[in-house]
């Protein structure tokens, strides 16, 4: 029994809340968290939080009919309600941090980059094709330059013709007519504003103004700021996609690691694990994967997205290259997040081609969005192992024995206990 502590759960992951509460030996705080019929969140906290140490558990996952943004707003409202209810300290516990992955390109709904014609994606339920995230030779430098007209000389011309400007109180956007001309497509009144994201053709039609590379919102900093502005004094999360996100906060952030759990799984569930190879499916995750490989004394290999033009023999894996040897060995793919499953399934395909015998995929967060379930089912991966940082019941039902789930509630319960008592948390980082 821990005193003076209140654990408040959101609607995103009730099972985890219950499990953490059980381990701490206290009941979850009574609350009403629903929606008014207008769509506004309704939050009533029924137990006193005055002078208490409040931990609010809400994971960044929407599914099963609930919405990610609703959960995030609920979290902010709960934090704010506890703060105004005179809580001593409010800690936001986000097992999966929402908006932690910063896109470097506009993505379409399925998670693949927008640059490629969307007609390709419609062919199958899922596709292994994707275009490298950075402009490559042979591809247009930006969406606006597709017709290859010399933009700089054209721009110079507009500047001249617009020199006088119009005199109406609200100036017409100069040059608009010109830009439409360049694009050569009839720009009807709604312009390029695409409000209707359900309509794929609209998104395909979106183009930045010629000469302007589009600006994609990077919501990570915003989310961090919103949590602090709502009143969070402390944030606990797990395996942030970019550890730099910690720097977005002005309050302490404890980034827990799923690594010990994954390591334990490898040592207990994979026969002859010393002979297996740890694989990072992309260069960004190499550090994460080597950390596990080093501590277990295992071999390591890396898959790297080749962005130079190569002789294309196998189109589908043209951009993937394996560094290291996996022939006739068990492969363990390690990454932090499975979202649409594109990276990991493509990596598995490559590994199979290179002669891997069995392929495991170990990931901290299994979001399985879009057609990820089908993609994983159809892939060469023999076993996917994820933690319950987001609810996994539905995924388990769909994937069956292909999916193993690791329980993270002991780590979070221990983190909450230690933070509450002011004990060091670093033990949890090196925990074996």
Partner 1 sequence: MSAEMANEIKLISGRSHPELSEKIAKRLGIKVARTISLNYSNQETSFTVGESVRDEDVFIVQSTSTGDVNEGLMELLIMISACRTASARRITAVIPNFPYARQDKKDKSRAPISARLVANMLQTAGANHIVTVDLHASQIQGFFSVPVDNLYAEPSFLRYIRENFKTEDCVIVSPDAGGAKRATSIADHLNTAFALIHKERPRPNVVGRMVLVGNVEDKIAILVDDMADTCGTLVKAAAVLKENGAKSVLALVTHGILSGNAIETLNSSVLQALVVTNTVPLGDKVERCPKLRVIDISPTLAEAIRRTHNGESVSYLFNHAPV
User: For residues 61-100, which are near partner 1 according to CB under 8 A?
Assistant: 61-63, 67-70, 72-74, 76-78, 80-82, 84-85, 98-99
When the beta carbons of 42 and 88 are compared against partner 1, the nearer one is 42
Work out whether 130 is an interface residue with partner 1 (CB under 8 A).
Answer: no
Binding to partner 1 (CB under 8 A): which residues in 280-339?
Answer: 339
- How far is 128 from 107, CA to CA, in rounded Å? 15
Task: Of 380, 401, 357, 360, give the one whose Cα is nearest residue 270.
Answer: 360
Footprint of partner 1 on residues 141-200 (CB under 8 A)?
159, 162-163, 165, 168-176, 189-197
Identify which of residues 251 and 318 has a Cβ nearer to partner 1 in the complex. Answer: 251
Q: Contact region for partner 1 (CB under 8 A) — 233-241, 353-361, 365-373, 421-429?
A: 365-373
Stretch that binds partner 1, among 133-141, 215-223, 242-250, 408-416 (CB under 8 A): 215-223
CA distance 310 to 154: 34
CB of 38 to partner 1, least distance (A): 5
Residues 331 and 409: their CA atoms lie apart, in Å, by 28
Residue 296 main-chain phi, psi, to 5 deg: -100, 0
Q: How deeply is 161 buried, as exposed, middle or buried, from its count of CB atoms within 10 A (0-12, 13-18, 19+)?
A: exposed
> Using the rule CB under 8 A, which residue among 1, 4, 36, 313 binds partner 1?
36
In the complex with partner 1, the residue whose CB is nearer, 103 or 132, is 103
- CA distances 329 to 6, 261, 357, Å, are 49, 23, 5
Nearest approach in angstroms of CB 52 to partner 1 is 11
Give me the count of residues in the chain.
432
Question: Are 381 and 361 within 8 A, CB to CB?
Answer: yes
- Shortest distance (Å) from residue 207 CB to partner 1: 7
The encoded tokens of residue 142 equal 């930006």
Report if residue 109 touches partner 1, rule: CB under 8 A.
yes
Residue 407 to residue 183: CA distance in whole angstroms = 53
Residues 379-398 touching partner 1, rule: CB under 8 A, are none
Bridge partner list, 403: 384
Residue 78 CB, nearest approach to partner 1 (Å) = 7
Report if residue 39 touches partner 1, rule: CB under 8 A: yes
Residue 103 Cβ vs partner 1, minimum distance, rounded to whole Å: 7
Contact residues for 332 (Cβ-Cβ < 8 A; gap 6+): 266, 270, 273, 276, 277, 278, 279, 359, 360, 361, 362
Q: Which is nearer to partner 1, 12 or 19 (CB)?
A: 12
CB neighbourhood size of 18 (10 A): 16
What is the spatial distance between Cα 128 and Cα 9, in angstroms, rounded to a whole number?
A: 38
Residue 43 CB, nearest distance to partner 1 (Å)? Answer: 5
Closest distance to partner 1 from the beta carbon of 259 (Å): 23
Q: Which two tokens stand for residue 147?
A: 């017709």
Of 335 and 339, which has the nearer Cβ to partner 1?
A: 339
Distance, in Å, from the CA atom of 236 to the CA atom of 419, rounded to the nearest integer, reads 9
Place of tokens 């003076």: 4
222 binds partner 1 (CB under 8 A): yes
Looking at the Cβ atoms of 197 and 429, the one nearer to partner 1 is 197
Given the complex with partner 1, which of 169 and 400 has the nearer CB atom? 169
Q: Which residues 6+ apart lie within 8 Å of 162 measured at CB?
A: 174, 175
Contact 245/100 with Cβ under 8 angstroms? yes
With CB under 8 A as the contact rule, the residue among 111, 113, 135, 284 that binds partner 1 is 111
Q: What is the DSSP letter of 107?
A: B
184 CB-side CA count, 13 A: 6
Total number of residues that touch partner 1 (CB under 8 A): 88
Minimal distance, residue 118 CB to partner 1, in Å? 12
Question: In the complex with partner 1, which residue's Cβ is closer, 193 or 272?
Answer: 193
Closest CB 156 distance from partner 1, rounded Å:
10
Task: Identify which of residues 211 and 260 has a Cβ nearer to partner 1 in the complex.
Answer: 211
Residue 238 in the binding site for partner 1 (CB under 8 A): no
């Amino acid at each position: 029994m821990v005193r003076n502590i209140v654990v408040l759960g959101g609607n995103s992951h009730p099972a985890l809340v219950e499990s953490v509460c059980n381990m701490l030996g206290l009941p979850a705080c009574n609350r009403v968290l629903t929606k008014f019929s207008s769509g506004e969140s309704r939050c009533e906290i029924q137990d006193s939080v005055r002078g208490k140490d409040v931990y609010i558990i809400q994971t960044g996952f929407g599914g099963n009919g609930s919405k990610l943004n609703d959960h995030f707003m609920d979290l902010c409202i709960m934090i704010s309600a506890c703060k105004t209810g005179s809580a001593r300290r409010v800690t936001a516990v986000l097992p999966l941090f929402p908006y932690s992955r910063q896109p470097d390109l506009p993505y379409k709904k399925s998670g693949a980059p927008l640059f490629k014609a969307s007609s390709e994606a419609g062919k199958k339920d899922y596709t292994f094709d994707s275009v490298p995230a950075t402009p490559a030779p042979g591809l247009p430098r930006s969406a606006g330059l597709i017709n290859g007209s010399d933009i700089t000389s054209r721009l110079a011309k507009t500047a001249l013709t617009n020199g006088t400007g119009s005199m109406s109180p609200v100036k017409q956007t100069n040059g608009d007519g010109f830009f439409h001309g360049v694009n050569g497509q009839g720009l009807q009144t709604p312009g390029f504003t695409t409000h209707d994201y359900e309509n794929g053709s609209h998104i395909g039609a979106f183009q930045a103004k010629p000469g302007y590379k589009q600006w994609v919102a990077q919501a990570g900093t915003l989310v961090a700021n919103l949590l602090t502005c709502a009143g969070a004094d402390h944030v606990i999360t797990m395996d942030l996609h970019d550890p730099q996100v910690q720097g977005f906060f002005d309050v302490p952030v404890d980034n827990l690691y799923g690594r010990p759990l994954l390591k334990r799984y490898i040592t207990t569930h994979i026969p002859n694990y010393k002979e297996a190879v740890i694989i990072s499916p992309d260069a960004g995750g190499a550090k994460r994967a080597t950390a596990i490989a080093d501590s277990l004394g295992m071999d390591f290999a890396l898959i790297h997205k080749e962005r130079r033009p190569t002789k294309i023999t196998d189109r589908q894996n043209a951009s993937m290259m394996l560094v290291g040897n996996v022939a006739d060995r068990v492969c363990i793919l390690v990454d932090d997040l499975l979202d649409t499953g594109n990276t990991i399934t493509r990596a598995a395909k490559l590994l199979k081609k290179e002669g891997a015998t069995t392929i495991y995929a170990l990931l901290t967060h299994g979001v399985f969005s879009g057609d990820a379930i089908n993609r994983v089912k159809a892939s060469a991966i023999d076993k996917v192992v994820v933690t319950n940082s987001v609810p996994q019941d539905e995924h388990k039902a769909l994937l069956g024995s292909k999916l193993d789930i690791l329980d993270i509630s002991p780590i979070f319960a221990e983190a909450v206990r230690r933070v509450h008592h002011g004990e060091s948390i670093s033990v949890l980082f090196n925990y074996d």
